[in-house]
Copies of this chain bind each other. A is one copy, B any other.
Amino acid sequence: MRGVVMYAPRDVRVEERADPVIEQPTDAVIRVAAACICGSDLWPYRGADPVERPTPMGHEYVGIVEQVGDDVKNVKVGDFVVGSFFASDNTCEICRAGYQSHCVHREPMGALGTQAELLRIPLADGTLVATPRPPRPEEIPGLLAASDVLGTGWFAAVAAEAGPGKTVAVVGDGAVGLLGVLAAKQLGAERIIAMSRHADRQELARRFGATDVVEERGDEGVAKIRELTDGLGAHSTIEAVGTQESMMQAIRATRAGGHVGYVGVSHDVALPGLELFFSGVHLHGGPAPVRQFLPELIRLILDGEIDPGAVFDLTLPLEKAAEGYRAMDERLATKVLLTL
């Protein structure tokens, strides 16, 4: 099969890879219908994470079940399925508490490389959710978004306790931040302040439900959020970047007793204990337990209530993946969908 492999920073190739096979009776193999490039794929692309060997890329996917292992009961050949970036059994105590991304048997899908024609899914019964009907082509981008960026933005909004009566600030205007705006809106937030200095992203943020846009960053951005909230700060802040600056911006933009939901993968972050202590905020985040939200997200998408697929502003065939990485690196695209 064809698949995307990163050889080194800025060296992304599409090449022949071995077809995956059922290895465990709990596995399935799916034919990928669409995959995409994630903001987190840019860390190794830019050299911020090491690329120690040629690495199959991608951790987001939707597709059609092609084979199932003997123990698989919940999905069958021909089902259209959505999964998350961690395979999970969905039965352990941690999964039952809603934290499937920390499942005691979890396996990172990124290690398998979902930007490929075929994909082995470990723990298929726990990992995959079949759509109640085959999706129409225009619904596929939204379902693909659910696999990570929507599920992650949704978790951030839940972790930030976005809801009725709340003012929600969103740090980061990538796909996750933008879908955090959408999630906050769906969860009933009263006011949603998107922090963005890019006109196209501001526009999408407003379409997803942002009521205000703040262009300032860092301390100036914090001052602006406080100005908009009677000097108190937001009730809820979504952090979707993962740098020291963005984390401190999120914490400082939040009132005492408020909630920061952080989902940007941390890079060189050290939180100063005393400042955190006196901030009085709640802090929760990490790799999103997307599996928890998938049934609801699939329903919202197939009912036409949300259109998260709008974050994809560039669609390319798998063979042109390198072009997609370049476009995201150069901020020419927010999120790239790869068709198969």
Binding site for B on A (CB under 8 A): 93-94, 97-99, 101-102, 104, 230-232, 242, 244, 247, 255-257, 262, 265-274, 276-287, 289
Contact = CB atoms under 8 A, between A and B. Distances in A.
Contact of A283 (B93, B267, B272, B283): B283
Which of A269, A271, A277 has the most chain B CB atoms inside 10 A of its CB? A277
Contacts of A257: 94, 97-99, 102, 289
B273 A271 contact: yes
A319 to B, nearest CB: 34
A256 to B, nearest CB: 3
A282 B279 contact: no
B272 A270 contact: yes
Nearest to A271: B271
A273 B280 contact: no
Oligomer copy total: 2
B279 A286 contact: yes
Contacts of A94: 232, 255-257
B256 A102 contact: yes
Contacts of A273: 242, 244, 247, 266-271
A266 B271 contact: no
Nearest to A280: B286
A108 to B, nearest CB: 11
Nearest to A247: B273
Contacts of A285: 277
Contacts of A287: 277-278, 280
Given A256-B99, A257-B94, A257-B99, A274 B266 contact: yes
Contact of A99 (B102, B247, B262, B280): B280
A331 to B, nearest CB: 24
B282 A284 contact: yes
A74 B47 CA distance: 63
Q: Which 5 A-B pairs have the closest CB atoms?
A: A269-B273, A266-B273, A102-B256, A99-B257, A271-B271
A98 B282 CA distance: 14
A137 B247 CA distance: 49
Given A94-B256, A94-B257, A257-B94, A280 B230 contact: no
A289 B281 CA distance: 13
A28 to B, nearest CB: 25
